[in-house]
Every structure is written in C-alpha cells, then in structure tokens.
Chains A and B, each alone.
Chain A
Amino acid sequence: MNPSADSDESRNEPAPDERGALMSALADGDAAALQRGCALWRDDAQARATWHAYHLIGDVLRSEDLANRPSRDAAFLAALRTRLADEPVVLAPQPAAAAAARRRPVWQPWLMPAAVAAGFMAVAGVLVVTRIAGPVADGPVLAASPAPNTALTLAGNAAPVAQPLVIEGRLIRDARLDSYLRAHREALGGAPYALPGGVPRNVETLAPMAPAAQPAAR
C-alpha cells in the first residue's frame, strides 16, 4: 500500500452497507479487506463505531462476561499505552531492521491514525508483531542480544560507522556470515583439519541456511 493509493481510497465515501461489510470482513481477519477496511476505519467515525459494535457483538457471543462498558476498554488502552511507552527500545540487528524498513510503507499509515484513535491501536500492534515475526523466525538467526556488558570476549574494535555483528558471546550468527566463514575456511582446500587454522568451527555457524538454500527439503 502506498500513501497515494491510500488517500485515493479514503476519498471515496462508501455506501453504508459496504462499510458494514468491510468492517465485518476486517473483524473476521479477511486479508482482502485489509487496505480498504483500514483506510475506511481511519477516516470514517461511523466505521469505527461499527467496528466496535461488531467486536462487542462477537465478545458477547463468546461470553457475556465480555460485555463491558466502553470506558473499560478505554482504561485498558490507556494503561497499555503507558506500559508500551515504558518498554525498553529493542535494538534489532540489521537484517531485522531491513525487514522492518521494507515493511514500513505497509504499516506506517496505520500507526499514525492508531495513535490518534486508540481503539485501533491494539489491533495494529498485533498485525505489526505477527508480520515482523515471520521473517525473523525463518530468516537469519538473530541473537536476541542481551546487554553487551556481560563477559563477552570481544575485541572492541568495531568501526563506529559500521553495524556491529550480532554477537552474544557466540560465533557469528548471521547466516550469510556463516557462509563467508565456511568459504574462508574452505580456501584451505583439501588440507587436513589438524593444522593451524584448519580446525572446524562451531558447526551451527557453518551450516547453510536451510530454507533459502534448499527448497522444501523434507
């Protein structure tokens, strides 16, 4: 979704039943309704009311205990926002950052209205989390790096401009770097392992990236 397409869609005033259908589809998690539904939700107060009503209906159908007054939801969201603001900033290594950057055009437009209208924020948050979780889980193995003041035996000579390696006191965890490392060791050719520089490294770091390199290996 790019911003211009987004604003084009928002200019169209939907018919009331189309509004209902879109909100219903969105509430059901229908991906086809995502773009238009979100744009509508952002720009149309009626759509937001419909959205809330549908969710309330859904909640009550599941359990009458979920039939709460709107003020309760508002209090919950306020508390959530406070907690979110207190969360430490997660410093993700570059691959994840790149993945996030590629996706930013997709979810950024939702985030801004979400900050204005709180009711949607939890939903947007869930979407962002699940969408980012995909590439991280099956992409390069990223170490959830703890604070680097622990007993890491790293030489602290990383150039300030460069992105530091993803390090957790372990060997290189980036799959592509593993490949370089492997190629670097392999330059020794058919040399025995029992020579300086020839000893095999941690095998996990030597492993090729299975999902990317090997299509559907069972």
Chain B
Amino acid sequence: MRMHVWRWLPIVTLTSLLLPAAAAGPDAGVSSTEPADARAWLVRIHTAANQRNYQGTLVFSAGGVLSSSRVAHFCVGDQSFERLEALDGRQQRVYRVGDTVHTLWPQTRVAVVEKRAPISNLPSATQTVEPRVLEQYDLLREGSERVAGREAQVFLLQPRDDLRYAQRLWADKATGLMLRADVIGPNRSVLESAAFSEVEVGIKPQSDSVTQPIKKLDGYRTVKAQQQPTQLDAEGWVMDRIAPGFKLAGCVKRPLESASGEDQVLQAVFSDGLTHVSLFIEPFESRRQLASLSGQIGATSTLRQRRGDYWITVMGDVPAATLKTFADALERRR
C-alpha cells in the first residue's frame, strides 16, 4: 500500500508545482457579489452541468491521493445521458440514462442497475439552485484564472458559520461549466480538489456511447438494487434539532454493500443547499463487527457510534463537530 502512495508522489509533486497560481491568485481582486448576480452564476453552473454536452477528464485529489475519471455528458431534448469510466484502480464504468444508472464492474463481471430517483431538494439533484444556499454562504467573486485550457471565473462560497466548509469554484466563462472545485477547511487549507484536466464543451451529443454498452451485457451478472423511500418517523426515529441551515432532503431504505435485501440500511440525507450529510442507521445485532469510529479524509468526515440497538453512521463534507450534532439529535421513539 505504501507503494501506491509512492507511485502517485511524482504526480502530486508535479501538480503542486503547476498550481502555485491557484494558491496565490484568488486573493487578488476579491469582491462580494450582488445577491442577484451570485445566484445567477450558481444557476449558470447548474444549467451548464445539466444541459451542455461535454466530455473530459475529471481529476480528484484528497489527502495526497489522486484519481481520475473520464466523463461525458450529453443532453438530447429532455433526456440526459452520462458516462463515466474510472481510470485508476479497479475498473468501473457508469452509464446513466435519465435516472437509470448502470454500474459495471468489468473485472468481476457484475452490473448493478439502479433507478436513482433523485432525493428531492438536494443541491445537484434539480436543475434549479436551492435559494437557501445563499443564506448559508456568501458568494465572493475572486477574479479570473485558466483551468483545463479555458478562462474561468473564480468564486468563493464562504460559510457564515463554522458548521460547514468553504468552497471555491472555477466556472467556465464561456459556458458556466464548473471546471474546478476546492473544498477549503479552516486556515484556508484545501481539503480536497476536483478539476477537469481537459474538457471539450459543446460537442456533438453521442448518446449511443451511453446506451449501446448497456444493451448487451453478455457474461455479466445483473443485480437490481432497490431503494425504498421512507420517512424517519415511520422508521421510529425523531430528529428535532437539525444543524442550522440543514434540512432533511429525503430518507430511503437501501441495500448497502451487496444489493441483497439482507443488508438494508436506513439513509437520511440532509442538505444545506450546497453540501449534504448522510445519516445511516442499521441494527447493531447483525453488525457486531463494526466499531465506533471518527475521522476525516479529504473533506469527508465520518462518525460512527452505537445508540442502543443501532449503529449510527454520519458522513458528510462538513466539520466533525457538525456531524456530531446530527448524531446527537437523533432519537429513537418507539
């Protein structure tokens, strides 16, 4: 495993050499944005992501680890098509047509088919921007930079309290497409960063490249993963004091690892308009091997503790203290 880190080290080093401007630049020309203008930019970013046709390589970096994926997105009429191919580690391909998602694991010849009805009110799930986001964050305009060969407008979403992290966004000036996003922790440290290393926007849609590979899944074992919408109180749970700015976006019962019915967990999702927190509840008795834990990698914090007959696992790109407020607020009522 240590080998792995070393293998990446040259790339990490190279990246840090190439990116000094990113660290130094944004401070120049900071200006607070008019609310209407700020909202207009966020809408532009969302609309571009949903409605443009683009293809490129997305690089993700956190905690000194880089991974990249080849991503293509097409929009034909009302229908959206998306394709993702993981370029590092285990082979994985994801094909999405509307809200039907095929995840293919070529090495084990397993295809997981899911109907992912978007959990409503999530920041990215709808094509409109959640207006609440600007109640929790100030949007500051930070000048221009060049990303993936394109001119980008830089924004900082600065939280108004310490329950969440800041995010810096680089939006393509020509189309509004998000070219890079950093999650920024206390002391302005970059916790994780995601960026297109190269991207073509406005290409001809090739929806066949998404629909063809999932038509013939010869030799694949197809697994259907079912999610059932439910309510926290219907499952016997109550949450009275949710962290300020967060709202319950949805709650589902879902298989976790195996796509079989036996491994069901309850997942409640909370959103503040920009980021979201997941709360997982599962019976203690059948998961005795689990342990309490708490930690953070990149921007993602995880907190797991036992509550009576249940394991409570909270996960999200927020400070650990925020996760704790979620875990503490959950109460069993039945």
Give the residue of A158, A176, A203 whose beta carbon is less than 8 angstroms from that of B294: A158
Whole-angstrom distance from the CB of B166 to the nearest CB of chain A?
A: 11
A residues within 8 A CB of B54? 194
Interface contact A191-B62, CB-CB below 8 Å: no
Count the A-B residue pairs with Cβ separation under 8 angstroms: how many? 257
Q: Is the interface of A mostly helix, strand, loop or mixed?
A: loop
Of A5-13, A25-33, A166-174, the one touching chain B: A166-174
- B262-291 residues with Cβ-Cβ distance < 8 A to A are 265, 267, 269, 274-276, 278, 280, 289-291
Tell me if A184 and B116 are in contact (CB < 8 A).
no
Q: Are the CB atoms of B303 and A203 closer together than 8 Å?
A: no
A170 pairs with B99, CB closer than 8 A: no
Instruction: Map CB proximity to B onto A184-218 as digits: 1 under 8 Å, 0 otherwise.
Output: 10111111111111111111101111101110011
In the complex, chain A residues whose CB is within 8 Å of the CB of B249: 187
The reply to whether A175 and B63 contact each other, CB–CB distance below 8 Å, is: no
- Per the bound structure, the CA–CA distance linking A165 and B295 in Å amounts to 5
Does A56 belong to the interface (CB within 8 Å)? no
- CA A154 to CA B304, docked complex, whole Å: 18
Nearest neighbor of A187 in chain B, beta-carbon distance:
B269
Having A213-B258, A213-B259, one finds 6 other A-B pairs with CB under 8 Å, namely A170-B5, A187-B267, A194-B71, A202-B62, A203-B92, A212-B258
Set B60, B84, B108: member contacting A214, Cβ < 8 A: B108
Can you name the residue of chain A whose Cβ is closest to the Cβ of B72? A193
- Interface 0/1 of A17-41, CB less than 8 Å to B: 0000000000000000000000000
Interface size on A, residues (CB 8 A): 64
**Interface pair B90/A203, CB less than 8 Å apart:** yes
The 3 closest A-B pairs by CB, nearest first: A189-B118, A165-B295, A204-B89
CB of B234 closer than 8 Å to a CB of A: no
Q: Does B49 contact A (CB under 8 A)?
A: yes
The answer to whether A158 and B269 touch (CB under 8 A), given A164-B293, A207-B89, A214-B221, is: no
**Chain A, residue nearest B116 (CB):** A189
